[in-house]
Homo-oligomer: A and B are copies of this chain.
């Protein structure tokens, strides 16, 4: 059976890179990226969806190639004026980026769903694949820390640069969150599920924790593979290697395998990083260039064809 439709689960920068590789390799419309929204927050009244933004800017080539987040050729004059007013903004809002936040926030405030406005924004930037927020309801990662008590995700991640020691992660939501119809439809049409190299605890677990997502992925009839966010125990970017031990997981291929037990068929890891007899596939997973993204995406599709 040929792989036609892929669902990818993604968080921020690392996940966005692989999603971009898959988007470039697959025909238009064949890829659906389900994106973490548990790090969404309101800042100066704006609804900000950092992971949706990172995926969207990456898929549309608007991403800042240096940081991986934010918009390329960005200016920071709004932020500078906020500082003139005596504010000390801890989250960097770029001028171009603000257009996204204003459109999203005003759409949400007049009753559109996050799914609807995400489609409009992605289409506006010329994206030909589908991007879906994991949920249309509030579902927020909360971080209990030794040093500062309970923090909102962005306070932990950006405000404190993920330096506090984490004792617990939990989700705060207004009502019991459910998968969107669009997400369910995409999952039912998928010939394979790819978990991108995003933080398993902070980016992928929130997606799996919405509604019956985890059960759906566990009970799937199609292959599911994950690309490890670690290379020889180290994260390319972000707190994966720090937070996993803090929460009792090994910061290693074995730790990721244990975390995704029952969820994935195969963990894709870098050369020499597979424990003996483990359900792994070793290949080049570090994505420094656009070509690296495309190569990894092709490699994964070939692998999926083989195991299907």
Question: Interface on A for B, CB 8 Å cutoff?
Answer: 44-46, 71, 74-75, 77-82, 84-87, 95-100, 102-103, 105-106, 109, 121, 124-125
Closest approach, in angstroms, between the C-beta of A232 and any C-beta of chain B?
Answer: 39
Count identical subunits in the complex: 2
- Indicate whether A102 sits within 8 Å of B45 (C-beta atoms), given known contacts A78-B78, A96-B80, A124-B86: yes
- Interface pair B75/A95, CB less than 8 Å apart: yes
Which B residues lie within 8 Å of A86 (CB)? 124
Which B residues lie within 8 Å of A79 (CB)? 99
**Complex formed: what's the CA distance from A71 to B86 in Å?**
17
- Interface pair B105/A78, CB less than 8 Å apart: no
Query: Please, could you name 14 A-B residue pairs with CB atoms under 8 Å apart, sorted by A?
Result: A45-B102, A71-B81, A75-B77, A77-B95, A78-B95, A78-B98, A79-B99, A81-B97, A81-B99, A82-B103, A85-B121, A86-B124, A87-B99, A95-B98
**Complex formed: what's the CA distance from A121 to B81 in Å?**
11
**Complex formed: what's the CA distance from A268 to B45 in Å?**
44
Pick from B71, B84, B95: contact of A95, CB under 8 Å: B95
**Complex formed: what's the CA distance from A257 to B44 in Å?**
45
Which B residues lie within 8 Å of A71 (CB)? 81
Chain B residue nearest to A102 (CB atoms) is B44
- Interface pair A102/B75, CB less than 8 Å apart: no
Pick from B44, B81, B109: contact of A96, CB under 8 Å: B81
Which B residues lie within 8 Å of A121 (CB)? 85
- Interface pair B99/A78, CB less than 8 Å apart: yes
Which B residues lie within 8 Å of A77 (CB)? 74-75, 77, 95-96
Which B residues lie within 8 Å of A96 (CB)? 77-78, 80-81
- Interface pair A44/B81, CB less than 8 Å apart: no
**Complex formed: what's the CA distance from A109 to B109 in Å?**
12
Chain B residue nearest to A44 (CB atoms) is B102
Most chain B CB within 10 A, of A75, A84, A86, is at: A84
Which B residues lie within 8 Å of A105 (CB)? 44-45
Which B residues lie within 8 Å of A99 (CB)? 78-79, 81-82, 84-85, 87
Which B residues lie within 8 Å of A102 (CB)? 44-46, 78, 82
- Interface pair B124/A103, CB less than 8 Å apart: no
**Complex formed: what's the CA distance from A19 to B14 in Å?**
54
Which B residues lie within 8 Å of A95 (CB)? 75, 77-78, 81, 95, 98
**Complex formed: what's the CA distance from A75 to B96 in Å?**
11
**Complex formed: what's the CA distance from A79 to B98 in Å?**
9
